[in-house]
Structure 1
Amino acid sequence: MPEQHGLTPTMTASEVNRLLKEVYPQLNEHYDFYQVTEVFPGGCTVRLNADERHLRPGGTVSGPSLFTLADIGGYVCVLSHAGPDALSVTTNLNINFMRKAEAGPIDGHCRILKLGRSLMVFDIDIVAGPDQQTVAHATGTYSIPPKRPTSAVK
Protein backbone atom coordinates (compact mmCIF):
# COMPACT_ATOMS: atom_id res chain seq x y z
CA MET A 1 0.00 0.00 0.00
CA PRO A 2 1.24 3.49 -0.67
CA GLU A 3 2.41 5.75 2.12
CA GLN A 4 -0.02 8.46 3.17
CA HIS A 5 1.14 12.01 3.65
CA GLY A 6 0.61 13.59 7.04
CA LEU A 7 0.50 10.31 8.95
CA THR A 8 3.79 9.53 10.64
CA PRO A 9 4.25 6.38 12.68
CA THR A 10 5.55 6.76 16.21
CA MET A 11 6.62 3.10 16.50
CA THR A 12 8.48 0.60 14.32
CA ALA A 13 7.30 -2.91 13.50
CA SER A 14 9.70 -4.45 16.03
CA GLU A 15 8.52 -2.02 18.75
CA VAL A 16 4.88 -2.93 18.07
CA ASN A 17 5.72 -6.66 18.13
CA ARG A 18 7.39 -6.19 21.53
CA LEU A 19 4.41 -4.20 22.83
CA LEU A 20 1.96 -6.88 21.65
CA LYS A 21 3.94 -9.59 23.46
CA GLU A 22 3.81 -7.48 26.62
CA VAL A 23 0.16 -6.32 26.63
CA TYR A 24 -1.49 -9.11 24.62
CA PRO A 25 0.53 -12.29 25.35
CA GLN A 26 -2.42 -14.62 24.72
CA LEU A 27 -2.44 -13.59 21.02
CA ASN A 28 0.44 -15.89 20.14
CA GLU A 29 1.12 -17.75 23.40
CA HIS A 30 4.15 -19.93 22.54
CA TYR A 31 4.09 -19.31 18.77
CA ASP A 32 4.48 -16.37 16.42
CA PHE A 33 1.31 -16.82 14.39
CA TYR A 34 0.44 -13.13 14.15
CA GLN A 35 3.27 -10.70 13.39
CA VAL A 36 3.78 -7.11 12.35
CA THR A 37 6.07 -7.15 9.32
CA GLU A 38 6.03 -3.46 8.40
CA VAL A 39 4.88 -0.07 9.67
CA PHE A 40 4.88 2.85 7.27
CA PRO A 41 3.27 6.30 7.12
CA GLY A 42 -0.46 5.69 7.17
CA GLY A 43 -0.46 1.94 7.47
CA CYS A 44 1.10 -1.40 8.25
CA THR A 45 1.46 -4.97 7.06
CA VAL A 46 0.58 -7.84 9.37
CA ARG A 47 1.01 -11.56 8.82
CA LEU A 48 -0.72 -14.72 9.92
CA ASN A 49 1.50 -17.78 9.67
CA ALA A 50 -1.44 -20.15 9.33
CA ASP A 51 -0.98 -23.82 10.16
CA GLU A 52 -3.32 -26.70 10.97
CA ARG A 53 -4.59 -24.86 14.08
CA HIS A 54 -6.18 -22.24 11.82
CA LEU A 55 -7.89 -24.63 9.40
CA ARG A 56 -11.52 -25.60 9.28
CA PRO A 57 -12.69 -28.82 7.61
CA GLY A 58 -11.70 -28.86 3.96
CA GLY A 59 -8.26 -27.33 4.57
CA THR A 60 -9.38 -23.70 4.43
CA VAL A 61 -8.12 -21.08 6.88
CA SER A 62 -11.06 -20.28 9.15
CA GLY A 63 -12.98 -17.04 9.03
CA PRO A 64 -12.23 -16.26 12.69
CA SER A 65 -8.48 -16.51 11.96
CA LEU A 66 -8.77 -14.05 9.07
CA PHE A 67 -11.04 -11.79 11.13
CA THR A 68 -8.40 -11.75 13.87
CA LEU A 69 -5.74 -10.75 11.32
CA ALA A 70 -7.96 -7.86 10.17
CA ASP A 71 -8.54 -6.71 13.75
CA ILE A 72 -4.83 -6.91 14.54
CA GLY A 73 -4.07 -4.80 11.46
CA GLY A 74 -6.30 -2.03 12.80
CA TYR A 75 -4.84 -2.37 16.28
CA VAL A 76 -1.29 -2.09 14.93
CA CYS A 77 -2.22 1.01 12.91
CA VAL A 78 -3.74 2.74 15.93
CA LEU A 79 -0.83 1.78 18.21
CA SER A 80 1.82 2.83 15.73
CA HIS A 81 0.19 6.11 14.67
CA ALA A 82 -1.93 7.37 17.58
CA GLY A 83 0.43 6.19 20.31
CA PRO A 84 1.08 2.99 22.21
CA ASP A 85 -2.02 3.09 24.41
CA ALA A 86 -3.05 -0.55 24.69
CA LEU A 87 -6.59 0.49 25.70
CA SER A 88 -7.63 1.38 22.13
CA VAL A 89 -10.57 -0.85 21.21
CA THR A 90 -12.43 -1.98 18.13
CA THR A 91 -15.81 -0.30 17.74
CA ASN A 92 -16.67 -1.78 14.35
CA LEU A 93 -15.25 -4.37 11.97
CA ASN A 94 -16.89 -5.53 8.76
CA ILE A 95 -15.29 -8.28 6.67
CA ASN A 96 -16.01 -9.78 3.26
CA PHE A 97 -14.53 -13.16 2.41
CA MET A 98 -13.60 -13.45 -1.28
CA ARG A 99 -11.93 -16.83 -1.76
CA LYS A 100 -10.43 -19.61 0.32
CA ALA A 101 -6.98 -19.34 1.85
CA GLU A 102 -4.79 -22.34 2.50
CA ALA A 103 -2.25 -22.78 5.29
CA GLY A 104 0.89 -20.68 4.95
CA PRO A 105 1.69 -17.00 5.19
CA ILE A 106 -1.29 -14.67 4.84
CA ASP A 107 -0.60 -10.94 4.69
CA GLY A 108 -2.86 -8.07 5.64
CA HIS A 109 -2.08 -4.73 4.01
CA CYS A 110 -3.72 -2.14 6.22
CA ARG A 111 -4.15 1.58 5.67
CA ILE A 112 -5.58 4.34 7.77
CA LEU A 113 -8.47 6.06 6.04
CA LYS A 114 -8.99 8.67 8.78
CA LEU A 115 -7.16 9.34 12.01
CA GLY A 116 -8.88 11.69 14.44
CA ARG A 117 -8.51 12.40 18.15
CA SER A 118 -11.00 9.74 19.23
CA LEU A 119 -11.50 7.42 16.23
CA MET A 120 -9.41 5.78 13.55
CA VAL A 121 -11.01 4.30 10.42
CA PHE A 122 -9.03 1.73 8.41
CA ASP A 123 -9.28 -0.88 5.72
CA ILE A 124 -7.26 -4.02 5.15
CA ASP A 125 -6.69 -6.17 2.07
CA ILE A 126 -5.88 -9.75 3.12
CA VAL A 127 -3.91 -11.68 0.50
CA ALA A 128 -2.60 -15.23 0.28
CA GLY A 129 -1.17 -17.86 -2.01
CA PRO A 130 1.47 -17.69 -4.71
CA ASP A 131 -0.52 -15.08 -6.66
CA GLN A 132 -1.22 -12.97 -3.56
CA GLN A 133 -4.91 -12.80 -4.42
CA THR A 134 -7.33 -11.07 -2.09
CA VAL A 135 -8.94 -13.65 0.19
CA ALA A 136 -10.76 -11.11 2.37
CA HIS A 137 -11.25 -7.37 2.71
CA ALA A 138 -12.30 -5.57 5.87
CA THR A 139 -13.06 -2.07 7.09
CA GLY A 140 -13.11 -1.07 10.70
CA THR A 141 -13.03 1.62 13.33
CA TYR A 142 -10.97 1.86 16.49
CA SER A 143 -11.76 4.04 19.48
CA ILE A 144 -8.75 5.94 20.76
CA PRO A 145 -8.85 6.67 24.50
CA PRO A 146 -8.48 10.29 25.56
CA LYS A 147 -4.99 11.35 26.49
CA ARG A 148 -4.53 11.02 30.23
CA PRO A 149 -2.86 13.91 32.01
CA THR A 150 0.56 13.09 33.35
CA SER A 151 0.85 13.54 37.08
CA ALA A 152 2.93 16.46 38.24
CA VAL A 153 6.28 15.59 39.79
CA LYS A 154 6.62 16.96 43.31
Structure 2
Amino acid sequence: MSARMTAAPAISIPDLEALIREGVPLVGNFGVSIDELVPGRVRMRMPYKDDFVRPGGTVTGPAMFGLADVALYAAVLSLIGRVELAVTTSMTINFLRRPAPVGIVCEGRVLKLGKRLAYGEVLLFSEDALDEPVAHATGTYSIPPHAPVSVTVSGYRDGGAD
Protein backbone atom coordinates (compact mmCIF):
# COMPACT_ATOMS: atom_id res chain seq x y z
CA MET A 1 0.00 0.00 0.00
CA SER A 2 1.36 3.39 -0.94
CA ALA A 3 1.86 6.03 1.72
CA ARG A 4 0.04 8.55 -0.48
CA MET A 5 -3.70 8.25 0.07
CA THR A 6 -6.22 9.31 -2.55
CA ALA A 7 -9.48 9.10 -0.61
CA ALA A 8 -10.98 9.79 2.79
CA PRO A 9 -11.54 6.85 5.13
CA ALA A 10 -14.93 5.12 4.84
CA ILE A 11 -15.72 6.02 8.49
CA SER A 12 -14.91 9.19 10.44
CA ILE A 13 -12.75 9.28 13.55
CA PRO A 14 -15.64 10.45 15.80
CA ASP A 15 -17.93 7.69 14.46
CA LEU A 16 -15.21 5.08 14.90
CA GLU A 17 -14.35 6.20 18.44
CA ALA A 18 -18.06 6.09 19.37
CA LEU A 19 -18.37 2.61 17.85
CA ILE A 20 -15.38 1.40 19.85
CA ARG A 21 -16.81 2.83 23.11
CA GLU A 22 -20.31 1.45 22.50
CA GLY A 23 -19.69 -1.68 20.45
CA VAL A 24 -16.47 -2.88 22.05
CA PRO A 25 -17.01 -1.54 25.59
CA LEU A 26 -14.16 -3.48 27.24
CA VAL A 27 -11.56 -1.79 25.04
CA GLY A 28 -13.68 1.37 24.83
CA ASN A 29 -13.25 1.71 28.59
CA PHE A 30 -9.47 1.61 28.14
CA GLY A 31 -9.64 5.25 27.00
CA VAL A 32 -8.38 4.45 23.52
CA SER A 33 -8.21 7.40 21.11
CA ILE A 34 -7.45 7.67 17.41
CA ASP A 35 -4.64 9.99 16.32
CA GLU A 36 -4.83 9.32 12.58
CA LEU A 37 -7.13 7.40 10.25
CA VAL A 38 -6.59 6.99 6.50
CA PRO A 39 -7.85 4.23 4.23
CA GLY A 40 -6.29 1.00 5.43
CA ARG A 41 -4.24 2.54 8.26
CA VAL A 42 -4.79 3.78 11.79
CA ARG A 43 -2.67 5.22 14.58
CA MET A 44 -4.19 4.87 18.05
CA ARG A 45 -3.14 5.30 21.63
CA MET A 46 -4.11 3.78 24.94
CA PRO A 47 -3.33 5.95 27.97
CA TYR A 48 -1.53 4.54 30.98
CA LYS A 49 -3.77 3.30 33.77
CA ASP A 50 -2.78 1.57 37.01
CA ASP A 51 -5.20 -1.23 36.01
CA PHE A 52 -2.91 -2.08 33.06
CA VAL A 53 0.16 -2.88 35.16
CA ARG A 54 1.03 -6.47 35.95
CA PRO A 55 3.55 -7.81 38.47
CA GLY A 56 7.00 -6.68 37.44
CA GLY A 57 5.80 -3.15 36.61
CA THR A 58 4.97 -3.66 32.95
CA VAL A 59 1.84 -3.14 30.86
CA THR A 60 -0.28 -6.29 30.85
CA GLY A 61 -0.51 -8.37 27.68
CA PRO A 62 -4.34 -8.51 27.59
CA ALA A 63 -4.53 -4.69 27.43
CA MET A 64 -2.05 -4.60 24.54
CA PHE A 65 -3.88 -7.44 22.78
CA GLY A 66 -7.20 -5.58 23.11
CA LEU A 67 -5.61 -2.45 21.66
CA ALA A 68 -4.14 -4.42 18.73
CA ASP A 69 -7.48 -6.09 18.01
CA VAL A 70 -9.44 -2.85 17.97
CA ALA A 71 -6.72 -1.17 15.87
CA LEU A 72 -7.06 -3.82 13.18
CA TYR A 73 -10.86 -3.45 13.38
CA ALA A 74 -10.42 0.30 12.84
CA ALA A 75 -8.09 -0.19 9.87
CA VAL A 76 -10.58 -2.59 8.25
CA LEU A 77 -13.54 -0.25 8.84
CA SER A 78 -11.53 2.62 7.35
CA LEU A 79 -11.85 0.71 4.07
CA ILE A 80 -15.33 -0.86 4.28
CA GLY A 81 -17.26 1.63 6.40
CA ARG A 82 -19.42 0.93 9.43
CA VAL A 83 -19.84 -2.83 9.15
CA GLU A 84 -20.18 -3.61 12.85
CA LEU A 85 -20.36 -7.38 12.38
CA ALA A 86 -16.87 -7.58 10.90
CA VAL A 87 -15.24 -9.86 13.46
CA THR A 88 -11.82 -11.21 14.34
CA THR A 89 -11.32 -14.74 13.04
CA SER A 90 -7.72 -15.06 14.16
CA MET A 91 -5.08 -12.94 15.82
CA THR A 92 -1.55 -13.61 16.95
CA ILE A 93 0.60 -11.31 19.05
CA ASN A 94 4.29 -11.50 19.75
CA PHE A 95 5.59 -9.56 22.72
CA LEU A 96 9.01 -8.25 21.73
CA ARG A 97 10.20 -6.34 24.77
CA ARG A 98 8.95 -5.26 28.17
CA PRO A 99 6.98 -2.01 27.88
CA ALA A 100 7.40 0.64 30.55
CA PRO A 101 4.30 1.53 32.58
CA VAL A 102 3.36 4.35 30.19
CA GLY A 103 0.77 4.78 27.45
CA ILE A 104 0.90 2.52 24.40
CA VAL A 105 0.78 3.80 20.81
CA CYS A 106 -0.05 1.45 17.95
CA GLU A 107 -0.08 1.56 14.19
CA GLY A 108 -2.35 -0.83 12.32
CA ARG A 109 -2.63 -1.47 8.63
CA VAL A 110 -4.56 -3.73 6.30
CA LEU A 111 -2.21 -5.76 4.12
CA LYS A 112 -4.91 -7.50 2.08
CA LEU A 113 -8.61 -6.76 1.72
CA GLY A 114 -10.82 -9.29 -0.03
CA LYS A 115 -14.58 -9.62 -0.27
CA ARG A 116 -14.91 -11.81 2.82
CA LEU A 117 -11.59 -11.52 4.66
CA ALA A 118 -9.13 -8.80 5.61
CA TYR A 119 -5.61 -9.46 6.84
CA GLY A 120 -3.40 -6.95 8.61
CA GLU A 121 -0.76 -6.16 11.16
CA VAL A 122 -0.34 -3.91 14.18
CA LEU A 123 2.88 -2.61 15.75
CA LEU A 124 2.70 -1.44 19.37
CA PHE A 125 5.13 0.99 21.01
CA SER A 126 5.66 2.46 24.48
CA GLU A 127 4.93 6.20 24.41
CA ASP A 128 8.44 6.85 25.67
CA ALA A 129 10.19 4.73 22.99
CA LEU A 130 8.47 5.12 19.63
CA ASP A 131 11.43 3.75 17.70
CA GLU A 132 11.32 0.18 19.08
CA PRO A 133 8.11 -1.88 19.04
CA VAL A 134 7.07 -3.71 22.20
CA ALA A 135 4.72 -6.06 20.33
CA HIS A 136 3.69 -7.12 16.83
CA ALA A 137 0.29 -8.58 16.01
CA THR A 138 -1.22 -10.04 12.87
CA GLY A 139 -4.84 -10.88 12.35
CA THR A 140 -7.67 -11.77 10.03
CA TYR A 141 -11.13 -10.23 10.07
CA SER A 142 -14.23 -11.84 8.60
CA ILE A 143 -16.34 -9.38 6.64
CA PRO A 144 -20.08 -10.10 6.38
CA PRO A 145 -22.03 -9.20 3.25
CA HIS A 146 -22.55 -5.44 3.16
CA ALA A 147 -23.15 -2.59 0.76
CA PRO A 148 -19.76 -1.86 -0.80
CA VAL A 149 -17.98 1.41 -0.11
CA SER A 150 -15.75 2.61 -2.91
CA VAL A 151 -12.37 3.51 -1.46
CA THR A 152 -9.28 3.53 -3.64
CA VAL A 153 -5.85 3.94 -2.18
CA SER A 154 -3.02 4.69 -4.55
CA GLY A 155 -1.71 1.35 -5.76
CA TYR A 156 -4.34 -0.65 -3.85
CA ARG A 157 -7.92 -1.60 -4.65
CA ASP A 158 -10.65 -3.19 -2.59
CA GLY A 159 -11.74 -6.60 -3.71
CA GLY A 160 -9.13 -9.30 -4.46
CA ALA A 161 -9.75 -12.96 -4.05
CA ASP A 162 -9.86 -14.37 -0.52
Q: TM-score, normalised by structure 1?
A: 0.84
Equivalent position amino acid for 1:144 in 2:
I
* Aligned-pair CA distance for 1:19: 2.2
Q: 2:117 aligns with which of 111, 116, 119?
A: 119
**Structure 1 residue aligned with 2:156:** none
* Aligned-pair CA distance for 1:42: 2.0
**Structure 1 residue aligned with 2:135:** 136
Instruction: Confirm or deny: 8 A CA contact 2:106 2:122 kept in the other structure.
Output: yes
RMSD across aligned C-alpha pairs, in angstroms?
2.2
Q: Structure 1: any 5+ residue segments left out of the alignment?
A: 149-154
Count of residue pairs brought into register by the alignment? 146
* Greater relative contact order (CA < 8 Å, ≥ 6 in sequence): 2
- Written as runs of structure 1 = structure 2, the 5 A alignment for 1:69-84 is 69-84=67-82
Give distance in 2, aligned partners of 1:108 and 1:120: 18
- 1:9–1:37 CA distance, 2 compared to 1 (3 A): same
Instruction: Confirm or deny: 8 A CA contact 1:5 1:42 kept in the other structure.
Output: no
Instruction: Confirm or deny: 8 A CA contact 2:126 2:134 kept in the other structure.
Output: yes
Give distance in 1, aligned partners of 2:2 and 2:108: 10
* Aligned-pair CA distance for 1:4: 6.2
**Structure 2 residue aligned with 1:94:** 92
* Aligned-pair CA distance for 1:6: 7.2
Q: After superposing the two structures, state which structure 1 stretch, 5-14 or 46-55, moved more.
A: 5-14
Percent sequence identity is: 36
- Written as runs of structure 1 = structure 2, the 5 A alignment for 1:1-154 is 3=3, 9-29=9-29, 33-132=31-130, 133-147=132-146
* Aligned-pair CA distance for 1:72: 0.7
- 1:144–1:63 CA distance, 2 compared to 1 (3 A): same
Q: TM-score, normalised by structure 2?
A: 0.80
- 1:77–1:129 CA distance, 2 compared to 1 (3 A): closer
